Amino acid sequence: MQIAYDLKPSSERRTEQFKPKDDVGFGTLRTDHMFLMDYRDGQWCEPRIVPYGPFQIAPGAVALHYGQSVFEGAKAFLHDDGEIYTFRIDKNAQRLNRSADTLCIPAIDEAIQIEAIHALIDTDRLWFPMQQGACLYIRPFIFATQDRLSVSPSETYTFCVMLSPSGPYYSDGFDAPIRLLITERFHRAVAGGTGASKAAGNYAASLQAGKAAAEYGAAQVLYLDATNTQIEEVGAMNHFHILKDGTVIIPRFTDTILKSITSESFLELGERLGCEVRQETVKLDQFIADVESGEIIEAGGFGTAAVVSPVGSYIFEDNRVLTVGDGQVGPHTRKLYQTLTEIQKGAVAGPEGWMRQV
């Protein structure tokens, strides 16, 4: 792919490595540039890297009215050899295309997506935040740009990649387990819907649930299926729990659960973790009984932004609290976190092809 470069004047660009004094937070900072490519006349064209800045978009653009927009979330890490590596970026590229297909958006060749992401990181490599636990968060997304009010797939789109120097998603970090709200009031997805894709609208639809969770002092809602009998996932991560023999259980992927690359990674790492990692249908009643009896000793969430986020307790709408184990971060969850982050940081080698040098 021939990428056109229209870079900021060097006097306005970062000139030395970013060494933040304070915690960088999650998703608020931007780098100097973004990658853009347009779709028109039946093909993706004009790949380019330009200064990060606002778009010109028609007020009638399909994405603004009907939400024809999908996104991805991935991360890049700095290794001791001074090089930046993306983590399983091929899986993100595949999933962007699966999500795109669900929303009738034309696919983008995976190799082109990866080349675009790596070229952008290379351009803005001085933005890698030199701070313990920080990384470059990568946000590729596609949105429908045609100026038309009929409800049908747009004929034009823009693909954009932006970067955000970021720390942990939950601001209190790994050592402060979160609380989740279990409620029958909100559902994230239904069979045959868009739940298994990263459609922008799924996240807009989770905002009310997020507000309700906050009213209960919870970080997010733990979504149940439409019959309120099975545990599905959390708004920005898959759910997992750990049995007292160390077995890690992730709800089985269905078309109402996002196929998390982090979950898939743990399923593949099984042996290295020294425990079984498997997927099951998780019945809510059984889950509650097993937490109460001590059969389930730890729980949490898996995700790119969330990494491994321990859950200390659940709260129900009647204010009943269900505490997992002693409510603190357990040794198995810590092992999961350490194993994944050591691979990502390059402290130990991961399976072939997981880390790709920019």
Contact with ligand COI (CB under 6 A) among 67, 73, 129, 195: 73
- Residue 250 vs residues 2, 44, 233, 322: alpha-carbon distances, Å: 42, 37, 9, 19
Pick from 168, 303, 325, 350 the residue near ligand COI by CB under 6 A: 303
108 binds, among ligand PLP, ligand COI, none (CB under 5 to 8 A by kind): none
Cα(214)–Cα(155) distance, rounded to whole angstroms?
A: 40
Answer yes or no whether residue 300 interacts with ligand PLP by CB under 6 A: no
In the chain, the amino acid numbered 289 is: A
Picking from 273, 329, 269, the residue whose alpha carbon sits closest to that of residue 301 is 329
Cβ-based nearer residue to ligand COI, 196 or 275 = 196
Taking CB under 6 A as the binding criterion, the range among 111-119, 207-215, 301-309, 310-318 that sits at the site for ligand PLP is: 301-309
Establish if 291 lies at the interface with ligand PLP (CB under 6 A). Answer: no
Do residues 213 and 221 make contact, with C-beta atoms less than 8 angstroms apart?
A: yes
- Cβ at position 233, least distance to ligand COI in Å: 11
For residues 235-254, which are near ligand PLP according to CB under 6 A?
235-238
Residue 168 found at the interface with ligand PLP (CB under 6 A): no
DSSP state of 245: T
Listed in sequence order, the DSSP H helices in 67-195 are 89-102, 110-123
* Closest approach of ligand COI to the CB of residue 99, in Å: 11
Asked whether position 233 contacts ligand PLP by CB under 6 A, the answer is yes
H or E element: which one contains 300? strand 296-303
Among 303, 312, 325, 330, binds ligand PLP (CB under 6 A): 303
Residues 6+ apart with CB under 8 A from 82: none
Is residue 142 a contact point for ligand COI (CB under 6 A)? no
236 sits near ligand COI (criterion: CB under 6 A):
yes
Beta carbon of residue 200, minimum distance to ligand COI (angstroms, whole number) = 10
Cβ at position 42, least distance to ligand PLP in Å: 30
**Burial grade of 40 (CB within 10 A; 0-12, 13-18, 19 or more):** middle
Q: How far is the CB of 11 from ligand PLP (least distance, A)?
A: 37
Quick one: the chain helix, strand, coil %, rounded to 5?
Answer: 25, 30, 45
Smallest gap from residue 146 Cβ to ligand COI (A):
25
**258 is a contact residue toward ligand PLP (CB under 6 A):** yes
Write the CB contacts of 301 (distance below 8 Å, at least 6 apart in sequence): 178, 234, 236, 237, 238, 239, 240, 308, 309, 311
Interface ranges with ligand PLP (CB under 6 A): 73, 233, 235-238, 258, 260-262, 302-304
Interface ranges with ligand COI (CB under 6 A): 73, 203, 236, 303-305
